[in-house]
Chains A and B, each alone.
Chain A
Amino acid sequence: MKKLCLLLGLLLIGQAVFGLQAGEKKWRVGFSQCNLGEPWRANMYEDLKREVAKYANEIELIHKDAQNDTSVQQAQIREFINDFEAGNLDILLVSPKEAAPFTPIIGEAFQAGLPVFVIDREILSDQYTTFIGGDNTVIGLAAGKWTAEKFNGKGALGVELQGLSTVTAAQERGSGFHEGIKGSDIKIIFQVDMKWLEPDARQEMESALSRFPKIDFVYAHNDPGAHGAYLAAQAVGREKEIAFLGVDALPHEGVSYVKQGILSATFLYPSGMDLAIEHVMKLKRGEKVPKRIMLATKAYDKEHPDGVTIGEPVVTW
């Protein structure tokens, strides 16, 4: 029985290898994902699959999920390097779990001649082909400007539900926002951590609602947080008088909440998969690609339920 399985397995592998060689020169694109468990990254994977499908005749995707384990992801990148050396891989996309542990191995892949796109999180050297990522400060700034435009001159009071004040992403989303409302008469009266969690956001918002009779808007560092705040306000019948702002704009979360009228606005933290695959194709055609692409955000609100791009991607060569 065991032998039979082995035989079948070998046959299948053989089929795959030879079947591939029979076709045109398809590029094999490796993707090393640090953790597919988060909704944003799950969505990133959906985006990736959709973009790859556009060029189904020219590229092929090999996706590996490290399940939030540094050593697993290191090992997976090592496997990709071996694949490349065996001629079974043409380009590698990496979304590393952390910066420091992946700087050497990504450098090694790059030195070996494998084109490497680093996605979302930067590493500590320039030993890669291209970096593509979003900018939390830009997103916070967009949210702040949106709020200022809407509320300036009315003496609006707001609540800020921070992701986690000790985390860079939350600090940037916060500082960008405060930059955006600078010069207006908008005030943040209650600023507190909600650990990116919906139940916690609801609890913190309940406290804010008990304390302050007038709240005009809530800026939450992610969409679930904004949704939790909405539920708290709804429970005391104050959801109509408050504008809820979220960040991330996943299609089935933030964007859906905006379409349902729960959130007033949400701001996209882009996955960048469209640009990533676009540049993979450029590379395949032998064109030059930039070193860094800082992605622009998109705002989704009542006027723009399908989103409107704010600014341009910042490209560095």
Chain B
Amino acid sequence: MNPTVPLGNTPSRPEKATEVSGLTSLFAKPWVRAFMALIVILLIGMIFNANGTFFRWSAHRDMLRQTSVFGILATAMTLVVITGGIDLGVGSIVAAVAVIYSTFLMALPVPFSAASTILFCLAVGAVFGVWNGFLIGKFKFQAFIATLAMMTFARGFAKYISGGRKVMNAIFFPDGTFKYNPVFPEITDWLNSRILGNNIAIVTIIMLCCMFIGWVVLSRLVWGRYIYSIGGNEEAARLSGVPILATKMLTYGLSGFFCAVAGICQAAQEYQGDPEAGTGYELTAIGMVVIGGTSLAGGRGSIGLTLIGVLTMGYLVKILSLNAVAESTRLMVTGAIIVIAVLFQSSRRK
């Protein structure tokens, strides 16, 4: 009797229909699909090139600058979306941070130093985010609800700090009079400048840094693996010893941190803190994430995909702007492009 038959030696059978031919499998890769949408947009740009403007570097440089704040928010959103959540608060946190940044640097009789202002801003963003993560992880709030509350609260906070008006280089006194502060903070000028032979905006570099941090977290750190596993199957992750609460607080905290970075960039580029800044940005960021191919169901996606999504939306906006397309048409075209881009993505799965 030979009971331990080595069953492992049976000829391997096809595991479902995963084995497919080369070209098909290339197009099954999410980043290839995401690229297809981007290429379509670039082709449109080449056709409607606004008298050749699209072929000038300045158009691309400006597109990158314009889309940087959104790119940072999309990075934040990607982390959260991969956990299976959503962060509606990003736009409002941008406003809150922009207002704090401007107040500290410009609107106080004795302004704070640039370093302490930035540190404080980043801390505020991170605290807002960690609070979201705490509600979601500890009290099992739905991410939609917790961050909707944050969206409302942070907007109110921005208005409270600023008194409802833009914080600029005018210092208001209680009686309604004001005086000007003629010099803008150096840090603001620096953030609003360009480097590399005046060819890349600082904010674009900052966006790329944020994306790099996001990439490191997602694909090099233990936390990234936790983020994916929570999005993929939270119960399995919990039973595998993944610290759910800590991971959620970290993820939303990181999201808040990135929002603060975006808020600083926004304030620096406007030379003021607008309490209405960032209205609707959360939806743009979600759009970019989805166009890249990160699934709102969680567990799938990457920062690289989001970068493609950001470029796709960024170029779309730029092309519409270069051609001076009317706002109503822009909205319709953008809606259509989102559908088309997501169609590219969804045909990936049966």
In the assembled complex, the Cα of A125 lies from the Cα of B159 at a distance in Å of 36
Residue of B whose beta carbon sits closest to that of A166: B328
Contacts of B53 in A (CB 8 A): 207, 210-211
**Are A190 and B274 in touch, CB under 8 angstroms?**
no
CB distance from A269 to the nearest CB of B (A): 16
Contacts of A210 in B (CB 8 A): 50, 53, 56, 58-59, 62, 322
Contacts of B276 in A (CB 8 A): 37
Contact (A195, B180) CB under 8 Å given A203-B317, A210-B53, A210-B56 = no
**Are A190 and B159 in touch, CB under 8 angstroms?**
no
**Are B51 and A211 in touch, CB under 8 angstroms?**
yes
In the assembled complex, the Cα of A281 lies from the Cα of B168 at a distance in Å of 36
A86 in the interface (beta carbon within 8 A) = no
Give chain A interface residues in 224-246, CB to chain B under 8 Å: 224, 227-228, 231-232, 235-236
B233 in the interface (beta carbon within 8 A) = no
A169 in the interface (beta carbon within 8 A) = no
Contacts of B327 in A (CB 8 A): 164-166, 193, 195
**Are A191 and B324 in touch, CB under 8 angstroms?**
yes
Q: Which of B250-258, B264-272, B303-311 lies at the binding interface?
A: B264-272
B172 in the interface (beta carbon within 8 A) = yes
B170 in the interface (beta carbon within 8 A) = yes
**Are B322 and A207 in touch, CB under 8 angstroms?**
yes
Most buried by A among B53, B194, B326, B327: B327
**Are B164 and A207 in touch, CB under 8 angstroms?**
no
In the assembled complex, the Cα of A36 lies from the Cα of B159 at a distance in Å of 11
**Are A165 and B165 in touch, CB under 8 angstroms?**
no
A285 in the interface (beta carbon within 8 A) = no
Contact (A42, B165) CB under 8 Å given A37-B159, A256-B180 = yes
CB distance from B35 to the nearest CB of A (A): 25
Give chain B interface residues in 120-167, CB to chain A under 8 Å: 159, 163-166
CB distance from A26 to the nearest CB of B (A): 22
Residue in A190, A235, A252 whose CB lies within 8 Å of B194: A235
In the assembled complex, the Cα of A207 lies from the Cα of B45 at a distance in Å of 13
Contact with A along B176-200 (1 / 0, CB 8 A): 1010101000000000101000000
**Are B269 and A46 in touch, CB under 8 angstroms?**
no
Contact (A206, B170) CB under 8 Å given A49-B176, A165-B326, A235-B194 = no
CB distance from B291 to the nearest CB of A (A): 19
Q: How large is the interface on A (under 10, 10 to 19, 20 to 34, 35 or more residues)?
A: 35 or more
B318 in the interface (beta carbon within 8 A) = yes
Contacts of B194 in A (CB 8 A): 235
Contacts of A42 in B (CB 8 A): 163-165
Contact with A along B314-350 (1 / 0, CB 8 A): 0001100110111110100000000000000000000
CB distance from B155 to the nearest CB of A (A): 10
CB distance from B57 to the nearest CB of A (A): 9
Residue of A whose beta carbon sits closest to that of B168: A252
In the assembled complex, the Cα of A287 lies from the Cα of B182 at a distance in Å of 47
Contact (A202, B170) CB under 8 Å given A193-B327, A211-B50, A252-B165 = no
Give chain A interface residues in 86-142, CB to chain B under 8 Å: none
A157 in the interface (beta carbon within 8 A) = no
Residue of A whose beta carbon sits closest to that of B325: A192
**Are B59 and A193 in touch, CB under 8 angstroms?**
no
Contacts of B50 in A (CB 8 A): 207, 210-211
Give chain B interface residues in 256-301, CB to chain A under 8 Å: 266, 269-272, 274, 276-277
CB distance from A249 to the nearest CB of B (A): 14
Residue in B58, B168, B330 whose CB lies within 8 Å of A236: B58
Contact with B along A179-217 (1 / 0, CB 8 A): 000000000001111010011001110110111000000
B117 in the interface (beta carbon within 8 A) = no
Contacts of A224 in B (CB 8 A): 166
CB distance from A4 to the nearest CB of B (A): 29
Give chain B interface residues in 75-101, CB to chain A under 8 Å: none
A154 in the interface (beta carbon within 8 A) = no
**Are B322 and A211 in touch, CB under 8 angstroms?**
yes
In the assembled complex, the Cα of A50 lies from the Cα of B175 at a distance in Å of 9
In the assembled complex, the Cα of A169 lies from the Cα of B207 at a distance in Å of 37
Residue of B whose beta carbon sits closest to that of A192: B324
In the assembled complex, the Cα of A232 lies from the Cα of B201 at a distance in Å of 12
**Are A36 and B164 in touch, CB under 8 angstroms?**
yes
A39 in the interface (beta carbon within 8 A) = yes
Contacts of B69 in A (CB 8 A): 199
A60 in the interface (beta carbon within 8 A) = no
Contacts of B170 in A (CB 8 A): 252, 256
In the assembled complex, the Cα of A231 lies from the Cα of B58 at a distance in Å of 15
A253 in the interface (beta carbon within 8 A) = yes
**Are A231 and B269 in touch, CB under 8 angstroms?**
yes
**Are A252 and B178 in touch, CB under 8 angstroms?**
yes
Contact (A209, B58) CB under 8 Å given A252-B168, A256-B170 = yes
**Are A202 and B322 in touch, CB under 8 angstroms?**
no
Contact (A231, B51) CB under 8 Å given A210-B62, A253-B166, A253-B168 = no
**Are B321 and A207 in touch, CB under 8 angstroms?**
yes
CB distance from A25 to the nearest CB of B (A): 28
In the assembled complex, the Cα of A211 lies from the Cα of B276 at a distance in Å of 30
A284 in the interface (beta carbon within 8 A) = no
Residue pairs across A and B with Cβ atoms less than 8 A apart, 14 shown, are A36-B164, A39-B166, A42-B165, A46-B176, A198-B274, A203-B318, A204-B324, A210-B58, A211-B50, A211-B322, A231-B192, A231-B271, A232-B62, A260-B180
> Could you list 20 further interchain pairs (A-B, Cβ under 8 angstroms) beyond the known A42-B165, A192-B326, A211-B53?
A37-B276, A39-B165, A42-B163, A190-B324, A192-B324, A192-B325, A199-B66, A199-B269, A203-B66, A204-B324, A207-B318, A207-B321, A207-B322, A228-B270, A231-B269, A231-B271, A235-B194, A236-B58, A252-B172, A256-B168
